Amino acid sequence: MLEAVDLVFAYGKRTVLDGISLRVAAGEVVSLLGPNGSGKSTLLKLLLGIQRPSRGEVRLDGVPLRRIPPRDYARKVAYVPQLHAALFPYAVLDVVLMGRLPHRALLSAYTKEDRRLALEALDWLGLAHLAQRPYTELSGGERQQVPPVP
């Protein structure tokens, strides 16, 4: 369970979020909707630990985010950004495999299990046909469908 408790955040003197609380259960799909500038991206950054709230806290399975080592958090939570620049023509499968980085030793090769999980995720999403396509050749919509595999 990912939980936000009474989050407050401000950019300088401009308060963007004030008293936001929410719970997201494992496997639950949530949509975050609102007008431009309403704090949606800021809330995501707080939930990811990219920014710290002025008040309140984010918890994962009841443990405050500030107490969870980043590598452990990355093993449980993944994020696909709205926009990003694809600089290298990695195959789609390789991009999905990058989500396995927190699960292996530094500079070690991907395992057969990593590859199995990545292919399974692509298949589940109906994207297995893209596995060997260069990521840089995908449309913006196709890119947003390619998942990191935690």
pTM: 0.62
- Say if CB 149 and CB 97 are below 8 A apart: yes
The pLDDT tens digits for 93-128 are 998 898 888 888 888 899 999 999 999 999 998 889
pLDDT the model gives residue 136: 82
Residue 23 has pLDDT above 60, yes or no: yes
Consecutive H or E run containing 60 = strand 55-60
Residue 14 has pLDDT above 80, yes or no: yes
Give the CA count within 13 Å in the CB-facing half-sphere of 68: 21
Residue 35 has pLDDT above 80, yes or no: yes
Residue 29 has pLDDT above 70, yes or no: yes
Mean pLDDT of 4-18: 93
- Domains of the chain, with CATH numbers? 2-74 (3.40.50.300), 92-145 (no CATH)
How many angstroms from the chain centroid is the CA of residue 60? 14
| Mean pLDDT of all residues belonging to the chain | 87
Sheet holding 2-11, edge to edge: 14-24, 2-11, 55-60, 63-64
Percentage of residues of the chain with pLDDT beyond 90? 44
Residue 83: band (very low, low, confident or very high) from pLDDT cuts 50, 70, 90: low
Residue 58: band (very low, low, confident or very high) from pLDDT cuts 50, 70, 90: very high
